[in-house]
Chains A and B, each alone.
Chain A
């Protein structure tokens, strides 16, 4: 008597056939896709929201340490429960809407800021594969375009918040946000063109796999045949390294590195981080677009900003810093342990980049917005276009 017969004794025949049908659906191709996607989305959302609240904590601690202070260190060991206390406080506050505000748009704006960065995470390959299931939630063929398109939507949330608050500081914040958007969005998108020209695909999975073979795009000197076994034979390893450091690689490294810098700086603007946090500008605009918000409305803006940071960092890592890959570390097809290692690698890179974002924020002063527009239109836009032609010339020369 096998196990399923033993279990079937506990159910009525009708219930047993129903259970078998459900189990069958779960193992059918479409059912399998649905439930694995749901599980992946839930787990990723959990990880990212946890990461968001601890990014806020990290921001406060790191900024304090940079300024010779200690920062929040009372709630729990070293203040580690501070995010929980903050969330409780914000939940218990009154969600106030000013009388003169436009209620519908005033309430819509925070959601428009919070949702797009979470949507962006759907196409990011946060790991290779686990038990044969690819970790990317949606492996779109237009992945990179999707990231650019969706992440820009959160600007509308900020503009709407500024406008619907019907108050002067938020309004100034909203205007600044729109002026900022038209300055950096061009260079943000154009800076990626050389990457697509080199790889020939917009699919983020393909881009990561290219980097696994050829090295991270920010430093593409990784030889193709480099493995663990090659390391044991010094001569072979040396040859492989020589193959990596070829003139060809140096030539296309130049436009790629310019792309990386442009994308990184534009990403700072996209996520409203200092030196480009003009819409918020605590010192001049008293919080800018979210001045009139309280309770969860404010919390959504706050979390939205940090989720956007995580989404932005994920995009930078996927496109330029090798995604989940690490030299010499195999992908998930070599066992579930390596799959986990890949995911951990990705989030370690995200955390490192977030710390870099924080570090930059507490170092640089804010741009004036005419300076930002000048930087965007006179400098980055031209540089991005020249960079495309440079990449084209290099690629023609190589092939």
Chain B
């Protein structure tokens, strides 16, 4: 594209009228903002965007239980392997003899997500065959050192809560 550079006439070449116009515009904004009108920024800790976060928002990854209170995770470790920054650590464990969900066979003994490493890509959620891991809307993950940035299993279930439906294969046949 060729930009049309037209010759400026003499008032335009003086620049002063344009400078005064510019000063008038900034003054208008200054005056408006001084009385608190027209401020377009958000005062973060007091005001948050939370209510307007979209459904597909990718926040911190969490683990969920189903409607029976069963841990959805079966320790297949797919998320551990696909995680690009290797933030997830899983140690599988056999489900004990007397447990009503014995047929599921495995559950995680340890399920840690290092939030200092997590990149919120959502691959863990996508790869999970049991729909056990979901990225929720928590975005403010804080800690005073690296150990506090690791989310353990309890914390993950506490954040994730219950997700009903979706996976029915472990339910009793009717």
Q: Do A360 and B23 form a contact, CB below 8 Å, given A68-B40, A70-B39?
A: yes
A67 interface residue (CB < 8 Å to B): yes
Measured between alpha carbons, how far is A309 from B32 in the docked complex, in Å?
A: 27
Measured between alpha carbons, how far is A228 from B32 in the docked complex, in Å?
A: 39
Measured between alpha carbons, how far is A68 from B37 in the docked complex, in Å?
A: 9
- Chain B residue at minimum C-beta to C-beta distance from A375: B15
Q: Which of B30, B33, B40, B43 contacts A359 (CB 8 A)?
A: B30
Contact A363 B29 (CB under 8 A): no
A153 interface residue (CB < 8 Å to B): no
B19 vs chain A, min Cβ distance (A)? 7
What does the 1/0 interface line of B7-35 toward A look like (CB < 8 Å)?
Answer: 00000000000010011011101101110
Q: Which of B19, B26, B40, B43 contacts A66 (CB 8 A)?
A: B26
Contact B30 A66 (CB under 8 A): yes
Contact B22 A364 (CB under 8 A): yes
In the complex, chain B residues whose CB is within 8 Å of the CB of A69: 33, 39-41
What does the 1/0 interface line of A363-396 toward B look like (CB < 8 Å)?
Answer: 1100000000000000000000000000000000
A62 interface residue (CB < 8 Å to B): yes
B84 interface residue (CB < 8 Å to A): no
In the complex, chain A residues whose CB is within 8 Å of the CB of B43: 70
Q: Do A65 and B30 form a contact, CB below 8 Å, given A70-B39, A70-B41, A70-B43?
A: yes
B7 vs chain A, min Cβ distance (A)? 17
A362 interface residue (CB < 8 Å to B): yes
Most buried by A among B33, B34, B41, B43: B33
Contact A65 B41 (CB under 8 A): no
What does the 1/0 interface line of A171-209 toward B look like (CB < 8 Å)?
Answer: 000000000000000000000000000000000000000
In the complex, chain A residues whose CB is within 8 Å of the CB of B22: 363-364
**B residues whose Cβ falls under 8 Å from a Cβ of A:** 19, 22-23, 25-27, 29-30, 32-34, 38-41, 43
